[in-house]
A and B are shown apart, each in its own frame.
Chain A
Amino acid sequence: MRRIFELIGPPLLVLVIILGLWSLAVRLLGIPAFVLPSPEQVFETAIIESDRLMSGFRNTLVASTVGLLAATVVGVLGAIILSTSRVLERALYPWAVVLQTVPVVALAPLFVLWVGPGFVSVVLVAFIIALFPILANTLMGLVSTDPALIDLLRMQGAGRAAIFRKIRLPNSLPYFFTGMRISAGLAVIGTIVGEMVVGRGGEKAGLGYYVVFSATQLKTDFVFATIIVSTGLGIAFFLAMVGLSSLVMGRWHESELRPST
């Protein structure tokens, strides 16, 4: 209990100080609410708009999850395929790097042309942004195996399948989860960006949609409330990945479970 307090105490204190200064500045300087609302106002709006925030949260959560799952499936399968052949890796991996550097937001209008605005387009943006870290890290884990161990297994007549199952796959797990931690955050960002650009309003509106929608109406307090909820979602995704990785990897390689940053 004491340890927990020591851990979250200092940052919490900083938060309180910042909120205090913020509130004070807004009052003393007479900043108009559409430029910078006070924290109390943001809080109030969050309560009033809690229905829309909740449904936005749900919609963004669903789109992020679907995008991340798709990126995981494609990323892992892609990494496995690339890891089986040096030629394939040489031919395809550079394109994965190129794909990563294409500004996805610029692609978004194309998605709209192809599948129309809304859920599928949003998920596509999240998927593309989240794909690369999973693919790259898993691939790294699959190929960066101890050559001596592979020699050892070969000497006992082990084939590629056995080496894959006993060495490559387990070896790639920590790398995979490193990728997942990065991609989880990116999937949320991708979803929100997607919602801002190709999202739709109404019942299916996500948090990104509400950011744009309320900004154009100068409801800056609502913008802030949405940003805070979005941040919460991002953190939740990250923590879920940390939890999942320690659940799966359990007792081995504790050092690799800790985020490096």
Chain B
Amino acid sequence: MTANQAAHTVDIFIYESNVGHAIEKVVVTDSDIRSDRIRVAIRDLEKRFSKDVVALRGINLDVQEGEFVSLVGPSGCGKSTLLKLVAELDYPTSGNVARPGIADLPGSIGFVFQDAHLLPWRTVHRNVELLLEIQNLSVNERHRRAKEALAHVGLEGFEDAYPRQLSGGMKMRVSLARTLVLNPQLFLLDEPFGALDEITREKLNDDLVELTRSSGLTTLFVTHSVSEAVYLSNRVVVISDRPGTIVDEISVPFNERHRSLRNTQEFVNTCAVVTEMLYRGMEK
């Protein structure tokens, strides 16, 4: 199983302060997605906000268990809307989203937004506990899980800091931890690293690969960045200009993720293919 494989990978959680160190990291990715197990099934989905604003049209998409799927598309094409429909934060005009095998329970879906959205009046630790407080967990259990999640995103020692004392990258880690404590079965991320500098972003990319692959987490990831999508995903889905439709998709041919992957010809070629698809979607 992938979880065991991932357990052998090099520790990839480094502190912000270590950014300068050129650590070559090797991350083993999932190679056995069970395509027989669909976890998200989107059928003929349409979302219109008004007569003129059709955000999404004719969306069909399946996501398999343990699969990491990225959605890329121009601004305003309906990526966030699609994610919200999957999370049932909004309802489609027609069509439907099914989530077979994902429990219809609080905590089974984890959602991460573009900005960290932390509570300024809570410490890092208490921010991570926020969503657990909604579930009826004991104080001890809450505390334990928050601590664990913070260690997971490399923020030990910052439990008592307030959000304003953190850098943008650290805030994002807190936001990830806040969702990860839920042990979600489906992980939805809406441009979580869009506001970060490139190095922090790449580091968090590696962390995210590790986090999702080690637990076989089914993930839908929205981004503007083609290279980020290609680096992270098992599959990249390209969405066209509004009304958003699926232009095309591509399975990413790599089994491993490591820093130098970005420089390989194959990686560059894959990015070019995705970019080509993006242009096709904008010319329609």
Would you call B117 and A146 a contact (CB within 8 A)? yes
Taking the complex as formed, is B101 at the interface, i.e. its CB lies under 8 A from any CB of chain A?
no
Q: A-B pairs with CB below 8 Å: how many?
A: 52
CA A162 – CA B84 in complex, angstroms? Answer: 22
Would you call B106 and A170 a contact (CB within 8 A)? no
Question: Closest residue of chain A to B109, judged by CB?
Answer: A155
Taking the complex as formed, is B107 at the interface, i.e. its CB lies under 8 A from any CB of chain A?
yes
CA A155 – CA B107 in complex, angstroms? Answer: 7
Question: Closest residue of chain B to A253, judged by CB?
Answer: B120
- B133 / chain A contacts, CB cutoff of 8 Å: 162, 166
CA A34 – CA B115 in complex, angstroms? Answer: 65
Question: Which residues between 162 and 196 of chain A lie within 8 Å of chain B, taking CB atoms?
Answer: 162, 166-167, 170, 173
Q: How far is the CB of A141 from chain B (nearest CB, A)?
A: 12
CA A155 – CA B89 in complex, angstroms? Answer: 8
Question: Which residues between 19 and 69 of chain B lie within 8 Å of chain A, taking CB atoms?
Answer: none
B-contacting residues of A (Cβ < 8 Å)?
A: 146, 148-149, 151-158, 162, 166-167, 170, 173, 249, 251-253
Partner of B106, one of A151, A157, A251, A253: A157
Would you call A148 and B113 a contact (CB within 8 A)? yes
- B130 / chain A contacts, CB cutoff of 8 Å: 153, 166
Question: Which residues between 213 and 267 of chain B lie within 8 Å of chain A, taking CB atoms?
Answer: none
Question: Closest residue of chain B to A149, judged by CB?
Answer: B117
Q: How far is the CB of B222 from chain A (nearest CB, A)?
A: 14
- B107 / chain A contacts, CB cutoff of 8 Å: 156
State the main secondary structure of chain A at its contact with B.
helix
Would you call A156 and B89 a contact (CB within 8 A)? no
Would you call B119 and A170 a contact (CB within 8 A)? yes
CA A146 – CA B107 in complex, angstroms? Answer: 20
Question: Which residues between 102 and 125 of chain B lie within 8 Å of chain A, taking CB atoms?
Answer: 105-107, 109, 111, 113, 115, 117, 119-122
Question: Closest residue of chain A to B178, judged by CB?
Answer: A152
- A167 / chain B contacts, CB cutoff of 8 Å: 119
Question: Closest residue of chain A to B116, judged by CB?
Answer: A148
A-B contact pairs, 13 of them (CB 8 A): A146-B117, A149-B119, A154-B89, A155-B88, A155-B106, A155-B109, A157-B134, A162-B133, A162-B134, A173-B121, A252-B121, A252-B122, A253-B120
Q: Shortest 7 CB-CB distances between A and B: which pairs?
A: A157-B106, A252-B121, A156-B134, A156-B106, A158-B134, A148-B117, A148-B113
CA A162 – CA B89 in complex, angstroms? Answer: 18
- A152 / chain B contacts, CB cutoff of 8 Å: 111, 113, 117, 131
CA A149 – CA B88 in complex, angstroms? Answer: 15
- B106 / chain A contacts, CB cutoff of 8 Å: 155-157
Q: How far is the CB of B72 from chain A (nearest CB, A)?
A: 21
- A158 / chain B contacts, CB cutoff of 8 Å: 134
B: interface residue count bin: 20 to 34
CA A157 – CA B132 in complex, angstroms? Answer: 11
Q: A151-B111, A156-B106, A156-B182 are in contact. Are A253 and B121 (CB under 8 A)?
A: yes
Question: Closest residue of chain A to B135, judged by CB?
Answer: A156
Taking the complex as formed, is B279 at the interface, i.e. its CB lies under 8 A from any CB of chain A?
no
CA A105 – CA B160 in complex, angstroms? Answer: 51
CA A143 – CA B194 in complex, angstroms? Answer: 27
Question: Closest residue of chain B to A167, judged by CB?
Answer: B119
Question: Closest residue of chain A to B105, judged by CB?
Answer: A157
CA A146 – CA B130 in complex, angstroms? Answer: 15
Q: How far is the CB of A77 from chain B (nearest CB, A)?
A: 22
CA A159 – CA B86 in complex, angstroms? Answer: 21
Taking the complex as formed, is B151 at the interface, i.e. its CB lies under 8 A from any CB of chain A?
no
Would you call B117 and A252 a contact (CB within 8 A)? no
CA A153 – CA B109 in complex, angstroms? Answer: 12
Would you call B131 and A153 a contact (CB within 8 A)? yes
- B122 / chain A contacts, CB cutoff of 8 Å: 252
Taking the complex as formed, is B208 at the interface, i.e. its CB lies under 8 A from any CB of chain A?
no
Question: Closest residue of chain A to B131, judged by CB?
Answer: A156
Q: How far is the CB of B14 from chain A (nearest CB, A)?
A: 27
- A156 / chain B contacts, CB cutoff of 8 Å: 106-107, 131, 134-135, 182
Question: Closest residue of chain B to A154, judged by CB?
Answer: B89
- B120 / chain A contacts, CB cutoff of 8 Å: 252-253
CA A166 – CA B119 in complex, angstroms? Answer: 9
Taking the complex as formed, is B196 at the interface, i.e. its CB lies under 8 A from any CB of chain A?
no
Q: How far is the CB of B180 from chain A (nearest CB, A)?
A: 13
CA A166 – CA B132 in complex, angstroms? Answer: 12
Taking the complex as formed, is B158 at the interface, i.e. its CB lies under 8 A from any CB of chain A?
no
Taking the complex as formed, is B162 at the interface, i.e. its CB lies under 8 A from any CB of chain A?
yes
Partner of A155, one of B111, B115, B119: B111
Taking the complex as formed, is B3 at the interface, i.e. its CB lies under 8 A from any CB of chain A?
no
Taking the complex as formed, is B85 at the interface, i.e. its CB lies under 8 A from any CB of chain A?
no
CA A151 – CA B119 in complex, angstroms? Answer: 14
Q: How far is the CB of A139 from chain B (nearest CB, A)?
A: 19
- A155 / chain B contacts, CB cutoff of 8 Å: 87-89, 106, 109, 111
CA A167 – CA B164 in complex, angstroms? Answer: 17
CA A176 – CA B88 in complex, angstroms? Answer: 34
Partner of B134, one of A146, A148, A153: A153
Question: Which residues between 189 and 209 of chain B lie within 8 Å of chain A, taking CB atoms?
Answer: none
